[in-house]
Amino acid sequence: MAKEKPDWSYFEHEVGRYVCEDDVREDFIPYLHDHGKLVWYVFVGTTPFNLFSFHYRFLLDLLKANATCEDDFINFAESVRRSLQHNFWRKAEYESTIGCWPIYVDLKTLDSMNEERKEHLDRYGSEPRVVQVPAKEAYKVDIYTQIMLNWDRFIEYLWDNRSLITPKKLGIRR
């Protein structure tokens, strides 16, 4: 049976808790860091994924950086940064959009959308299935940008856990 991915409530309410604030919860499991593997969550679309469990090429680059930059933190960090940039920077499949909530549309845009809807109705004789709402103040974020937001913590985490950067620990079969 495949292990189910945690839903949002797990990331919002369970990760990072060391004690149960209300002692009545019998199902509470305190947070314990799993030192047996690397874990760093990023968003792919709207789903959180462990960066170290889904991109084979990045894992190979990480193994190479670990092997070639034994005690040189600067070269290790630069190798990891270059690999992240090469594999995840400006790649549509790894981009998410962050915008304001609630979504709003100004009146000019709303009129334009209604015109588009009327044109579709006149041309095809039916309502459009989808009308694209242009996002105001939206920002496209890829995995590379997500990592760079916490770069110091990320590279320190990797450097401190170099013993976990092995084919076996990363799940790479050779």
Spell out a b/e string for 60-77, using b for 16 or more CB atoms within 10 Å of the CB, else e. ebbbebbeebeeeeeebb
CA distance 43 to 125: 39
Q: Are residues 83 and 132 in the same domain?
A: no
Q: Are residues 90 and 44 in the same domain?
A: yes
Q: Are residues 127 and 109 in the same domain?
A: yes
Residue 166 belongs to a domain: yes
Instruction: Please choose, from the candidates 72, 48, 43, the residue with its C-alpha nearest in 3D space to the C-alpha of residue 159.
Output: 72
Q: Are residues 108 and 130 in the same domain?
A: yes
- Domain residue limits at 59: 39-99+142-174
Both tokens of 98, joined, read 């962050």
- The answer, as to whether pTM is greater than 0.95, is no
In this predicted structure, what is the pLDDT of residue 80? 97
Domain count, the chain: 2
Q: Are residues 94 and 146 in the same domain?
A: yes
Residue 24 belongs to a domain: no
Residue 81 belongs to a domain: yes
In this predicted structure, what is the pLDDT of residue 134? 72
In this predicted structure, what is the pLDDT of residue 47? 87
Residue 88 belongs to a domain: yes
What does each of the 174 residues of the chain score in pLDDT, given as a tens digit? 555 655 666 666 666 666 766 666 677 766 666 668 899 999 988 888 999 988 999 999 999 999 999 899 999 999 999 999 999 999 999 998 888 777 777 888 889 888 989 999 999 999 888 877 776 778 889 999 999 999 999 999 999 999 999 999 998 886
Residue 157 belongs to a domain: yes
Residue 48 belongs to a domain: yes
Residue 108 belongs to a domain: yes
In this predicted structure, what is the pLDDT of residue 112? 87
CA distance 116 to 136: 19
